[in-house]
Amino acid sequence: MNYTTDCLIIGSGAAGLTLALGLAEKTKVIVLSKETACAGSTNYAQGGIAGVYNIKDDDDSIAAHIKDTCIAGGYLCDEKTVEFVAKNAHDAIQWLIDSGVPFDLKEEKATDEQSPYHLHREGGHSHRRIFHAEDHTGKSIQETLTALARKHPNITLLENHNAIDLVTTRKLGLPGNRVIGAYVLNNETSHVETISAKFIALCTGGASKVYQYTCNPEVSSGDGIAMAYRAGCRVANMEFNQFHPTTLYCDADRNFLLTEALRGEGAQLKRPDGTRFMQDYDERLELAPRDIVARAIDHEMKKLGADCMYLDISFKEPEFVKKHFPTIYERCLKVGIDITKRPIPIVPAAHFTCGGIMVDNNARTDIENLYAVGECAYTGLHGANRLASNSLLECVVYGKAAATHILKHLSDAEIADIPDWDESQVTNSDEEVIITHNWHELRLTMWDYVGIVRTNKRLERAMHRIELLKKEVHEYYSNFRVTRNLLELRNLLDVAEIIVKSAMMRKESRGLHYNLDYPNLEEHSGPTILNP
């Protein structure tokens, strides 16, 4: 089946649904999702959404939010972008409230001048400014926006559909480089379909699945970044991969993230012998930015030969812990850990892609009529390290900005015909083991050589292995029918190559990129930009 629409949105998280709902009052939209609409990273975001909502509550300010973001980002953030996002935080949060997201309220009644919302504080933030719905904020946002999208007559939600590649005028030998559609694999029928569109928005999330250990869901395979790069978009800062310091260390539940809000409420990081260690690394202790905390945990584990470190909130009142962190309490209890009585074993895991497809403040990419929103995009907000809870904010602010810009130019664009996908020269594969083997090799290579701490030699080894794997997979892709596993592996190999190239270009250690061969900061530093 082939489709035609005004706007195709690839990805159904906070970024994609904010954009879809912003467009749907005036135009037809198709939202594409690899699995169910709720399978992406938004659904798993525990902490919340950062923003200065009401400065009458305390001495917080937009200027303080900007400053905290730039400090956490290793002063590699684009200050105009940070200001743009921080100033639009109030409207973004109000839109979520108006949409029905149930953010937690204060226990005591607020005065007329005060905000009624209970706010968390997380690492890198100088004030409490994190709006949250208990410890499952992302889930609340995802479910609220998905319900609105499903009810809207102008939004068609295509679940279990994998985008394969963008179709541009350049690829078809036509003038310019304008996006006109996409090839899509229907995972239920295993047939490739075409979608023609006036505008396309990539809202596909990050690429943390490129690492062996990640707290991200299965769908985080860098699809949008890879597709955009192949189509001719620049990408930036892909060497900055954020490793969340605290994920549950347990064979029964390896990918479960433990929100930074735990440390915001006083949880302490400890060695196996029960002693604290963050005082040896940063005066902000457990509230230091994520890059510092992750490296500290990694260093302690290697120094002691330990499998994990520990996060302890058991000294707090049990009812406080259960009220503010019910999801974490129940999840840990299922694997035999009562967090009100004992510390939680933790390890760092790949969590967030701070770089991505280069966009402006309307979310426009280098290709005409192609937009990118959310984790797959590089706006300049995150710099060398993302400040906690700025990611959901970025999704909503840029989703709204993209919707406004697309609606202004809707009448300027035209639908173009795209040729059907040609499967006449390919066959079904009887060697699926090749995909599985290469998949594991890539992710282990990235974890071992391009992880929390890097060296020039490790990066060279990683690049050599990636080049060999890309050659194998390209041959496989050319001869056999596409499958979801093949498409994701192809995209992750492209993204892995981009990450390593970017890491090789940066001759310093800054934020999330730590290279033992270049331990110091460069005096004049900027974003790492790759042209395809």
Segment 190-238, tens digit of pLDDT: 999 999 999 999 999 999 999 988 888 888 999 999 999 999 999 999 9
Q: Determine which helix (DSSP H) or strand (DSSP E) holds 158, and give its type and residue range.
A: strand 155-158
CB 322 within 8 A of CB 340: yes
Q: Which CATH number belongs to the domain containing residue 275 in this structure?
A: 3.90.700.10
CB 182 within 8 A of CB 173: no
For the chain, what percent of residues have pLDDT higher than 90?
75
Rank 111-115, 186-190, 367-371 by mean pLDDT and report only the highest.
367-371
Q: Which CATH number belongs to the domain containing residue 510 in this structure?
A: 1.20.58.100
Neighbours of 1 (CB within 10 A): 10
Q: Is 159 inside a domain boundary?
A: no
CA–CA–CA angle 516, 506, 390 (5° rounding): 100
pTM exceeds cut of 0.85: yes
The predicted model gives 412-441 an average pLDDT of 80
Q: Is 457 inside a domain boundary?
A: yes
Query: What are the two backbone dihedrals, phi and then psi, of residue 35, each rounded to the nearest 5 degrees?
Result: -120, -135
Q: Is 15 inside a domain boundary?
A: no
> Which residues are CB-neighbours of 44 under 8 A, at least 6 positions away?
138, 139, 215, 216, 217, 257
Residue 71: its pLDDT value, please? 94
Residue 55: its pLDDT value, please? 64
Q: Is 50 inside a domain boundary?
A: no
Per-residue pLDDT at 429 exceeds 70: no
Q: Is 469 inside a domain boundary?
A: yes
Paired with 257 in beta bridges are 247
CA–CA–CA angle 289, 225, 234 (5° rounding): 95
Angular region, 258: left φ>0, alpha ψ -120 to 50, beta rest: beta
Q: What is the 3-state secondary structure (H, E, C) of 504-520?
A: HHCCCCECCECECCCCC
Segments forming the whole domain that contains residue 285: 245-351
Name the 3-class secondary structure at 126.
Answer: coil
Report d(CA 138, CA 352) in Å as an integer.
15
Q: Is 83 inside a domain boundary?
A: no
Higher pLDDT, 476 or 380: 380
Which of 351, 386, 401 terminates a domain? The answer is 351
Question: Exposed, middle or buried, 419 (CB in 10 Å: 0-12/13-18/19+)?
Answer: exposed
CA–CA–CA angle 57, 61, 65 (5° rounding): 125
Residue 125: its pLDDT value, please? 92
Per-residue pLDDT at 482 exceeds 90: no
Q: Which two tokens stand for residue 363?
A: 């979310």
Site of tokens 């970025």: 394
Which of 325, 351, 377 terminates a domain? The answer is 351
Residue 112: its pLDDT value, please? 59
Residue 226: its pLDDT value, please? 98
Residues marked as catalytic = 290
Residue 56: its pLDDT value, please? 63
The predicted model gives 344-368 an average pLDDT of 96
Neighbours of 213 (CB within 10 A): 18
Q: Is 8 inside a domain boundary?
A: no
Write out pLDDT tens, residues 188-201.
999 999 999 999 99
Report d(CA 177, CA 230) in Å as an integer.
12
Number of structural domains in the chain: 2
For the chain, what percent of residues have pLDDT higher than 70?
96
Q: Is 487 inside a domain boundary?
A: yes
Higher pLDDT, 437 or 67: 67
Report d(CA 51, CA 280) in Å as an integer.
31
Q: Which two tokens stand for residue 498?
A: 């981009």
Which of 292, 321, 351 terminates a domain? The answer is 351
CB 29 within 8 A of CB 200: no
Residue 16: its pLDDT value, please? 97
CB 10 within 8 A of CB 200: yes
CB 38 within 8 A of CB 142: yes
Residue 113: its pLDDT value, please? 66
Write out pLDDT tens, residues 231-274.
999 999 999 999 989 999 987 766 788 988 899 899 999 999 99
The predicted model gives 395-411 an average pLDDT of 97
Write out pLDDT tens, residues 131-141.
999 888 999 99
Residue 274: its pLDDT value, please? 96
Write out pLDDT tens, residues 72-111.
999 999 999 999 999 999 999 999 999 999 999 987 776 6
Q: Could you tell me if 251 and 340 lie in one domain?
A: yes
Report d(CA 256, CA 334) in Å as an integer.
12
